[in-house]
Amino acid sequence: MKTPFQLQTRLASLSGRRKLALALLGAACLWPLAALAQTQIYDAKTRTWVDYDKKKARQYYARNNQPPEAFRMQTVPFRTAEAPGTIIIDGNQHFLYFVQSGGQAIRYGIGVGREGFGWAGIVRVGRTAEWPTWTPPAEMVARDPNAAKWAAGMPGGPENPLGARALYLYDGNQDTIYRIHGTAEPWTIGLDVSSGCIRMNNNDITDLHSRIKIGAKVIVLMQGAALYKGV
């Protein structure tokens, strides 16, 4: 029996998942951008799948002070050949999996880059930060007055777009400019709302940050691909 706000499952195959396919677009982790969400959640009252867009997400969070159950941190069965400590990101389903031993993973809900700002590949955690400073890229400073005032860097804090923690993703020794980070907008978890980075609830990124090791492998699945019993 389906439960309220059960996440819709859409299965797709993934080919060439080992090939690095980073599409650096010049401006990752920008100020939150409006986008059309592709997520649907199950409404037990009407017994239908309903769009979970930005407006409905804000209404749900205002009522419950947390995202739908599917996007809350939980341990789930997870079959994979990847070693414990690996991060696997399924952007289509808005989940980040932190692989555990014994065929399990800790699953977190995430917000992801909107269509056209997505990317895929295999990278690693190059460094981490607590309450990180956010520095907008030059292109953003030039066009956005809100960003311009932080051209020298916005100190870490509750209003900072990077939230409570950040994991900086590297390709070898090179910073990809992509991040896994917290958010000042927790109602956006489960939506396509940012420009390439992976955002998490501040409590969740704090938990992941406490578990992760520098050098950890991070697999980001291609757009149009979803996990089927792991990878």
Contact 229, 79 (CB under 8 A): yes
Contact 58, 187 (CB under 8 A): yes
Distance (Å, whole) CA 7 – CA 227:
14
The one catalytic residue among 29, 94, 197, 209: 197
Q: If phi over 0 gives left and psi between -120 and 50 gives alpha, with beta otherwise, what is residue 153? A: left
Adjacent-strand bridge partners of 162: none
Residue 2 amino acid letter: K
Is 94 among the catalytic positions? Answer: no
The one catalytic residue among 29, 94, 181, 209: 181
Is 29 among the catalytic positions? Answer: no
Q: How many angstroms from the chain centroid is the CA of residue 93?
A: 10
DSSP-based three-state secondary structure for 87: strand
Give catalytic residues, as residue numbers: 181, 197
